[in-house]
Amino acid sequence: MATTVHPGACPLDCPDTCVWQLTVTDGRPVALRGDPGHPFTRGALCGKVNRYLDAVTGPDRLTTPLVRVGPKGVGPVSYRPASWEEAVRRVAGGLRASIDINGPESVLPYYFAGTMGLVQGWTMGPRLFAHLGASRLRTTICTAASRAALGSVYGGSVGFEPESVVEAKLIVLWGANLLSTNLHHWPFVRQAQQRGAYVVTIDPLRTDTAARSDAHVAPLPGTDAALALGLMRHVRDLGGVDRPWLAAHTVGWERLEARLDEWPVDRAAAECGLDVDVVRRLGERIATTRPTAIRIGLGLQRHAGAGQAVRAIASIPLVTGDFRYPGGGALATTSGHHRIDSDRVARPAGMPAPPARSINMSRLAAALTGEADPPVTALVVFDTNPVATVPDQNRLRQGLTRADLFTVVLEQRWTDTCDFADVVLPATMQPEHLDLHTSYGHHYTTLNLPVLDPPGQALPNTEIFRRIAAALGLDHPRLRDSDEELTRQLLDGTGISYEELTRRTYARATGVAVGSAPYAQGGFPSLDGRARFHDPRLTAQGVDPLVGYTPPVEVGDATLARRFPLALISPAGRFFLNSTFASLPWHRGRTGPPRIHLHPVDAAARGLADGDPARVHNDRGEFLAAVAVDDATRPGLAFTYKAYWARLSPGGSTVNAVTGVRDTDLGGGPTFHDTRVEVQAAPADLLPADDAGRPAPTPTAPPGSPQPG
Ligand SMILES: Nc1nc2c(c(=O)[nH]1)N[C@H]1C(S)=C(S)[C@@H](COP(=O)(O)OP(=O)(O)OC[C@H]3O[C@@H](n4cnc5c(=O)[nH]c(N)nc54)[C@H](O)[C@@H]3O)O[C@H]1N2
Ligand SMILES: Nc1nc2c(c(=O)[nH]1)N[C@H]1C(S)=C(S)[C@@H](COP(=O)(O)OP(=O)(O)OC[C@H]3O[C@@H](n4cnc5c(=O)[nH]c(N)nc54)[C@H](O)[C@@H]3O)O[C@H]1N2
Ligand code: SF4
Ligand SMILES: [Mo]
């Protein structure tokens, strides 16, 4: 028996981008472990990816192209296998027909971070569609609000060096559930805590992360900007403003200071539904503790006021001068530190790429049901499962069922979205293709080489797009670049060579040293190196140029609250990664059925008990779930985990049947958590017997995971 061990990168949409080691015996994968030498992820994967080989070797892998022969929307029965030659010819014919009738902008490539790999995700597909003059996709579904907000405040998505957090004396985890979603940052936080740091989690829910913090502050959802303004006001009143640093490295403090006059602590506390002393005590700690590190999560960004919230939170360390110190400052994502520019590779110099409109991916349901003009009549989906993950699921399905829409889906397994495809193309998984990864949670770049043969006829996305380009008769040489050439193009100008990565797998990539304070002397990536509280460029986007507060739209609507009294948020669960793994037996078993978590007071008011089947609904739609009576939340606030599959859920719908298409104030992001619903008892037979009332599993860390706490 020949056994070999191969390093690679976890491809999932997770800030940690772990380096793994895959053991292969006689061509078959037999074990997957974390690389103990990796400085950030330090040897352990997470619970869900410890079972990644279930996904690679599963009997549900797609192994052959499939073409539709029955109605849309009913599932695999509508499809028959086809050769690659026939499938690609059909795709080219569908795209050509759309272009001939409605012009190239009628074609929409729709992709996201199902793999974070730049080669499979962000090079050949986008390149082909740029060359065609197809609509461009604004990839807003995740970090758009912080990208726009931090672009305004710091000049880019940058912040403190994540490994330096061990030096912090106060750590604020703000709308971030590290133990579920950024597991490998937690040991650094824990190390700081053991060295005496005080850890505060700001989250409407008492998550595991909140429970392991020294303090938990639970504001009403969508009110974080008000909290940040109140905290800055208190810091100022206590004399905690670092005026020399502020004067040297920021713009607009006088205006912000005038605004803080409007935000006494009691106003902020009232807006956030918090006890005034809670805000005061936190303000006092921030005023007096150096360095303070603020980890800005994604959860607080799924609200109408997300742009202002991120601006306001990112302003706090500017006021206190925390960027002076290693471990001080704020950090949402490390993306802005990485130097690889995938857009340059997607639109290479010398390749014609006609100008085209942009379509906001978070508005897909609207774009497919009348908002886009010319209409979208060809849709090519890869690395994403929008039927499960975008807002307004019912309207999306209506759009996807349109007879005049030609849809292609590149996938590894049959998902909710495949149900609506005209052609389904089987794609490879990470151990089967070449890829290159940056990270949104650390400063390393990782190479992933193919080590397994794909099942059946599955092909890498890149190869599928090369074949589609050829079938369309496009002969630009850049549409024939190999995966290795694409990887070298991505690395061009970064100072890291392909050869180095083939030897070492990963390399520190950003020029920011471990444990350093990259903005101690200012030098933010803005044009003048300063950070901004006031930004006149935002006026053109209809946003207040000064850091301020945008209240939640739906959650804040008192009239709507009479019909839909519960605010609903849908954060990440531990054992799914968005909708990835949500179809696999082990991961489903660990996660349990869809549940609607209600505070005991709200459950009692509706006559609902733990395990009861319930209908969660508003004017957009409904989904079915088992009630979980849970005091991790507060009265008036319900929650459920995101990204179950619709086709595997009771009633065929998920939480995204009740979320709406509405943009954040800045960046055009989605507002999943700015949602109101009512919850009612549902007839017992609406939930499958094994799903109704099964007790919630207690999440426990798998062997080999970093032990929280
Ligand atoms: N296990 C697992 N890991 C994941 C993912 C997954 O699905 N599963 N998803 C990945 C992806 S795509 C992303 S973007 C990241 C997201 O990772 P996180 O940034 O952790 O995002 P969420 O889990 O969506 O939300 C984090 C917390 O924000 C809270 N929250 C909601 N609304 C508010 C608010 O208004 N204010 C405040 N202060 N907090 C609020 C939620 O209760 C939640 O506990 O995780 C990645 N990692
Ligand atoms: N209600 C609610 N909804 C949410 C959120 C929320 O907080 N609440 N969070 C949102 C967030 S943060 C995000 S990032 C989105 C993410 O939502 P999606 O982008 O839809 O992510 P996934 O559901 O993981 O789907 C990724 C798909 O890509 C496929 N894939 C992976 N690698 C490859 C590959 O190499 N080739 C091909 N062809 N396919 C591949 C996987 O099989 C999987 O089906 O969901 C959003 N949806
Ligand atoms: S923690 Fe994130 S990067 Fe690491 S194995 Fe799990 S999903 Fe992949
Ligand atoms: Mo995300």
Check whether the bond before 291 is cis (ω within 30° of 0): yes
Other Cβ atoms closer than 10 A to 354? 11
Q: What is the pLDDT of residue 703?
A: 32
Residue with CA closest to ligand 3 atom 1: 46
φ/ψ of residue 531, rounded to 5? -95, 155
Residue with CA closest to ligand 2 atom 32: 115
Q: How far apart are CA 520 and CA 328, in angstroms?
A: 9
Ligand 3 pocket mutation pick from 13, 16, 116 by most atoms within 8 angstroms of CB: 16
Q: Which of 501, 680, 660 is nearest to 606 (CA)?
A: 680
Ligand 2 pocket mutation pick from 303, 389, 410 by most atoms within 8 angstroms of CB: 389
Identify the CATH assignment for 3-57 out of 3.40.50.300, 3.40.50.1980, 2.20.25.90, 3.30.540.10: 2.20.25.90
Give residue for tokens 């495809």.
421
DSSP codes, 462-511: HHHHHHHHHHTT---GGGG--HHHHHHHHHTTTT--HHHHHHHSEEE-SS
- β-strand partners of 172: 200, 294
Residue with CA closest to ligand 3 atom 6: 46
Band of residue 685 on the pLDDT scale cut at 50, 70, 90: confident
Token code pair at residue 210? 């909140």
- Give the position, in ligand 2's atom list, of the atom nearest the Cα of 415: 44
> Mean pLDDT across the stretch 499-505?
98
- Give the position, in ligand 2's atom list, of the atom nearest the Cα of 383: 28
Residue with CA closest to ligand 1 atom 16: 298
Ligand index nearest the alpha carbon of residue 384 = 2
**How many alpha carbons lie under 13 Å from residue 630 in its C-beta half-sphere?**
21
The verdict on pTM exceeding 0.85 is yes
pLDDT at 708 over 50: no
Q: Is 392 left (phi over 0), alpha (psi -120 to 50) or beta?
A: left
Residue with CA closest to ligand 2 atom 23: 579
Residue 527, classified by CB atoms within 10 Å of its CB into exposed (0-12), middle (13-18) or buried (19+), is: exposed
DSSP 370: I
332 CA distance to ligand 2 centroid (A)? 20
382 CA distance to ligand 2 centroid (A)? 10
Q: How far apart are CA 331 and CA 312, in angstroms?
A: 13
Q: Which of 592, 647, 583, 640 is nearest to 616 (CA)?
A: 640
- Give the position, in ligand 3's atom list, of the atom nearest the Cα of 184: 1
Exposure class string for 71-90: b at 16+ Cβ within 10 A, else e: ebeeeeebbeebebeebbbb
φ/ψ of residue 316, rounded to 5? -55, -50
Identify the CATH assignment for 160-331+519-541 out of 3.40.50.150, 3.40.1580.10, 3.40.228.10, 3.40.109.10: 3.40.228.10
Fold of the domain spanning 66-138+342-438+449-497: Rossmann fold (3.40.50)
| Cβ pair 478, 348 in contact under 8 A | yes
Looking at beta carbons, which pairs linking 260-268 to residues 24 or more positions away fall under 8 Å? 260/229, 260/232, 260/233, 260/236, 261/233, 263/226, 263/229, 263/230, 263/232, 263/233, 264/230, 264/233, 265/230, 265/233, 265/234, 267/226, 267/230, 268/226, 268/227, 268/229, 268/230, 268/231, 268/233
Q: How far is CA 106 from the centre of its chain?
A: 27
Element (H, E) at 279: helix 276-288
> Mean pLDDT across the stretch 573-602?
97
Ligand 2 pocket, residues with Cβ under 6 angstroms: 13, 112-115, 120, 141-142, 298, 302, 382-386, 388-389, 410-413, 415, 427, 461, 570-571, 577-580, 642-643, 655-656, 659, 672
49 CA distance to ligand 3 centroid (A)? 6
| Cβ pair 496, 510 in contact under 8 A | no
Q: What is the pLDDT of residue 216?
A: 98
Q: What is the pLDDT of residue 686?
A: 72
| Cβ pair 494, 461 in contact under 8 A | no
Residue with CA closest to ligand 2 atom 13: 142
Which range among 77-81, 145-149, 203-207, 685-689 shows the weakest confidence by mean pLDDT? 685-689
- Give the position, in ligand 3's atom list, of the atom nearest the Cα of 20: 5
Give residue for tokens 């609207």.
366
Handedness of CA 352, 355, 358, 364 (dihedral sign): negative
16 CA distance to ligand 3 centroid (A)? 6
Give residue for tokens 């006609």.
354
pLDDT at 519 over 70: yes
What is the CATH number that goes with domain 558-692?
2.40.40.20
Residue boundaries of the structural domains of the chain: 3-57, 66-138+342-438+449-497, 160-331+519-541, 558-692
Helices (H), ranges, 103-166: 118-122, 124-132, 144-153
- Give the position, in ligand 3's atom list, of the atom nearest the Cα of 16: 3
Ligand 2 pocket mutation pick from 147, 379, 383 by most atoms within 8 angstroms of CB: 383
Band of residue 688 on the pLDDT scale cut at 50, 70, 90: low
| Cβ pair 433, 419 in contact under 8 A | no
Band of residue 695 on the pLDDT scale cut at 50, 70, 90: very low
Other Cβ atoms closer than 10 A to 350? 7
175 CA distance to ligand 1 centroid (A)? 7
pLDDT at 188 over 60: yes
φ/ψ of residue 430, rounded to 5? -55, -45
pLDDT in tens, 290-347: 999 999 999 999 999 999 999 999 999 999 999 999 999 999 999 999 999 999 999 9
Ligand 2 pocket mutation pick from 138, 141, 655, 664 by most atoms within 8 angstroms of CB: 141
pLDDT at 41 over 80: yes
Ligand 3 pocket, residues with Cβ under 6 angstroms: 10, 12, 14, 16-18, 41, 45-46, 49, 183-184, 577
Helices (H), ranges, 289-435: 306-320, 342-346, 364-366, 386-389, 393-400
Ligand index nearest the alpha carbon of residue 141 = 2
Residue with CA closest to ligand 1 atom 39: 175
Q: How far apart are CA 692 and CA 357, in angstroms?
A: 46
pLDDT in tens, 371-409: 999 999 999 999 999 999 999 999 999 999 999 999 999
| Cβ pair 252, 534 in contact under 8 A | yes
Residue with CA closest to ligand 2 atom 27: 384
Q: What is the pLDDT of residue 707?
A: 34
* Terminal-to-terminal C-alpha distance of the chain: 41
Ligand 1 pocket, residues with Cβ under 6 angstroms: 13-14, 142, 174-177, 180-181, 202-205, 207, 219, 221-222, 224, 297-300, 303, 569, 571-574, 576-578, 643, 673
- Give the position, in ligand 3's atom list, of the atom nearest the Cα of 46: 6
pLDDT in tens, 91-136: 999 999 999 999 999 999 999 999 999 999 999 999 999 999 999 9
Cβ-Cβ contacts under 8 Å for 3 (sequence gap 6 or more):
23, 24, 25, 30
Ligand 1 pocket mutation pick from 10, 146, 177 by most atoms within 8 angstroms of CB: 177
Q: What is the mean pLDDT of the chain?
A: 95
DSSP codes, 329-358: EEES-SGGG----HHHHHS-TTS------E
Q: What is the pLDDT of residue 123?
A: 98
Ligand index nearest the alpha carbon of residue 21 = 3
For residue 638, the SS3 value is: strand
Residue with CA closest to ligand 3 atom 8: 10
- Give the position, in ligand 2's atom list, of the atom nearest the Cα of 389: 47
